[in-house]
Amino acid sequence: MSVFFLLIIVLGFGALGFVLGRSRALASADGNIRNLHSLPNYYGFNVALSTIIPALGLLAILSLVLPILIDNRVSTFIPADSISEDTTRSLVMSDVRRVADGLDTAVAAGAMTEDEAQTVSTETTDVRERLGAVGVALGSNVEPFVLRAAQSYRAQAAAAQLWTTFLIIGVAIGGFAISFLRTNREFRARNVVENGVLVLLMAAASIAILTTLGIVFSMVFETRNFFQDYHWTDFFFGTTWSPNFRGDSDLGIIPLLWGTLYISFIALLVAVPIGLFAAIYLSEYATHKFRSFAKPAIEILAGIPTIVYGLFALITVGPFLRDYFAQPSGLGESASSVMTAGLVMGIMLIPFVSSLSDDIINAVPQSMRDGSLGIGATHSETIRQVVLPAALPGIVGAVLLAASRAIGETMIVVLGAGAAARLDLNPFEAMTTVTVKIVSQLTGDTDFASPETLVAFALGLTLFVITLGLNVFALYIVRKYREQYE
């Protein structure tokens, strides 16, 4: 029985439980609501929740754990000597799964009986040909041990499914029965239901923590595997990046970090002055009418997806910079360059800097401005010598947040910066970043045993640590500053 169908059954039981629980409570109070401890609906909810929640929780756990268990048991069928140099256990396992799926298809199409599928052997039949007849194309001939593993896989999967079905329905009925029998006029249904709901709310809130843990563990685990194959000093201090899928690659992070920081630096060089001056003008000088038009226009920039900026860099900014700056001055030939990516990323960050700075400038108390204007300073002197120094910590925080955004940005650099890892000062040269290399190492055919793939996790972890550090520091500064004037 499919998971979806089980879900429907459990939810059906829950709905039934609601109706029955409610009517049983009413019956125990002789139909008079005032004799009940809680409102009748709470008795219904109590039965429905006790039916649904444990069953669904168990279903979630089983559907995660069972496939792993089955994989472990089936992989004992694979003899160690069959795992040669050019294949791995996981590749053989995916062969096994493909054959098992093929047998399923054959049974569904009526080309084999269920018995035949479980007893067929490679000595008597050409399994590849028979599966081919029902439209299942297999790459190579089926090895005897693969077929036996596939048959065992099918048997265990069928057994697991049967057990899951029984167990889930059993738990649902059990929860239903216990809560239904407890239902009577004295039962404090509201308190029980509200406690249950509170637990659900807490579970939802802890998903944020689970996500962080998931991020950290998934990367730490694979990074550890990577550092077993590749020495960590070579990774952190190596100055060449040349992955080679036949092995023996140089995977030094320095050129990637250099590209990342260079591009982010140019982006901040564009975004910070423009964003800061825009924020000053909009909050201190602009008329109401101008502000109501210009502020949303700048903020639209923040809502545009980064792929759009990437395409803008690729088809407009890159060729423009190449034709009018790089080629005439002889600095470079390539449309994708540090400058292209930096400029476009700077445009993306303008609204980010300007709206954060706007908030911070507005938080400076009016009395400070009034005092400065009162002793005869001009408006711009007030801003430069009173407002900005008072807002400085917050603005630094905003710039740090923008920097962390720039370092983690992917699509603009994938489309605008190029793919060559290079340690160079020329901004019209193509360079690459940490994020670009994560994308290029993890897309396409990947083999999760080679350091060339696993390096992406180490890169991801480095990126995560850098951006997290910047964020925590920036939020600390911003928060500390806010407290001063509140």
User: Where in 293-312 is the site for other proteins (CB under 8 A)?
Assistant: 294, 297-298, 300-301, 303-312
Min dist. Cβ of residue 144 to other proteins (A): 26
Which among 361, 378, 379, 377 has a CA at the least distance from the CA of 282? 361
What are the backbone angles phi and psi of residue 379, rounded to the nearest 5°?
A: -60, -45
Backbone phi, then psi, for 251, in 5-degree steps?
A: -125, 65
- The footprint of other proteins on this chain (CB under 8 A) covers a number of residues equal to 90
The verdict on 56 binding other proteins (CB under 8 A) reads no
Among residues 83, 158, 162, 207, the one that binds other proteins under rule CB under 8 A: 207
d(CA 371, CA 365): 11
Residues in contact with other proteins, shown as a per-residue x/- string from 387 to 416 under the rule CB under 8 A: --------------x--xx-xxxxx--xx-
User: Which tokens is 337 given?
Assistant: 């360059």
Is 379 among the residues that bind other proteins (CB under 8 A)? yes
Residue identified by tokens 């994938």 is 414
In whole angstroms, the minimum distance from the beta carbon of 467 to other proteins comes to: 6
330 sits in the region (left: phi over 0; alpha: psi -120 to 50; else beta) called left
- Among positions 381, 389, 447, 449, the unique one binding other proteins when judged by CB under 8 A: 381
Q: Within 136-175, which residues bind other proteins (CB under 8 A)? A: none
Helix 388-408 with 254-280: angle, nearest 10 deg: 140
Q: Does residue 194 interact with other proteins by CB under 8 A?
A: yes
Separation of alpha carbons 219 and 414, rounded Å = 22
**Measured distance CA(117)–CA(111) in Å, rounded:** 10
Please give the residues from 455 up to 484 whose contact with other proteins meets the rule CB under 8 A. 456-457, 460, 463-464, 467-468, 471-472, 475
Token pair for 192: 């029980």
Tell me how far apart the alpha carbons of residues 258 and 424 are, in angstroms, rounded to a whole number.
9
Q: Which two tokens stand for residue 208?
A: 């944020």
| Residue selected from 137, 205, 375, 425 as contacting other proteins according to rule CB under 8 A | 205
- Helix orientation angle between 40-74 and 189-229, rounded to the nearest 10 degrees: 20
96/83 Cα distance (integer angstroms): 13
Examine residue 315 and tell whether it contacts other proteins (CB under 8 A).
Answer: yes
Quick one: which of 222, 358, 429, 452 contacts other proteins (CB under 8 A)?
Answer: 222
Cα separation of 249 and 228, whole Å?
Answer: 15
* Interface residue with other proteins, options 239, 316, 362, 484 (CB under 8 A): 316
Contact flags string 223-262 toward other proteins, x per CB under 8 A: ----------------------------------------
Least Cβ distance, residue 39 to other proteins (angstroms): 9
Report whether 111 contacts 135 (CB < 8 A): no
Contacts of 248 (CB under 8 A, 6+ apart): none
- Minimum distance from CB of 457 to other proteins (Å)? 7
Beta carbon nearer to other proteins, 159 or 475: 475
Q: How far is the CB of 65 from other proteins (least distance, A)?
A: 11
Residues 6+ apart with CB under 8 A from 410: 306, 435, 436, 438, 439
The one segment of 47-55, 102-110, 211-219, 255-263 that binds other proteins by CB under 8 A: 211-219
Binding residues for other proteins restricted to 331-360, rule: CB under 8 A: 347, 350-351, 354
Closer residue to other proteins (CB): 127 or 356: 356
- Binding status of residue 375 toward other proteins by CB under 8 A: no
User: Closer to other proteins at the Cβ: 176 or 441?
Assistant: 441
Binding mask 5-24 for other proteins (x = CB under 8 A): --------------------
| Binding span for other proteins by CB under 8 A among 18-26, 49-57, 106-114, 273-281 | 273-281
Cβ count within 10 A of residue 320: 13
Binders of other proteins among 62-121, rule CB under 8 A? 64, 67
In the complex, least distance from residue 91 CB atom to other proteins, rounded to whole angstroms: 14
In the complex with other proteins, the residue whose CB is nearer, 31 or 303, is 303
The answer to whether 399 touches 272, Cβ cutoff 8 Å, is yes
Tokens read off for 139 = 């790459």
Q: What share of the chain is helix, strand, coil (3-state, %, to 5)?
A: 75, 0, 20
Cα 180 from chain centroid (whole Å): 41
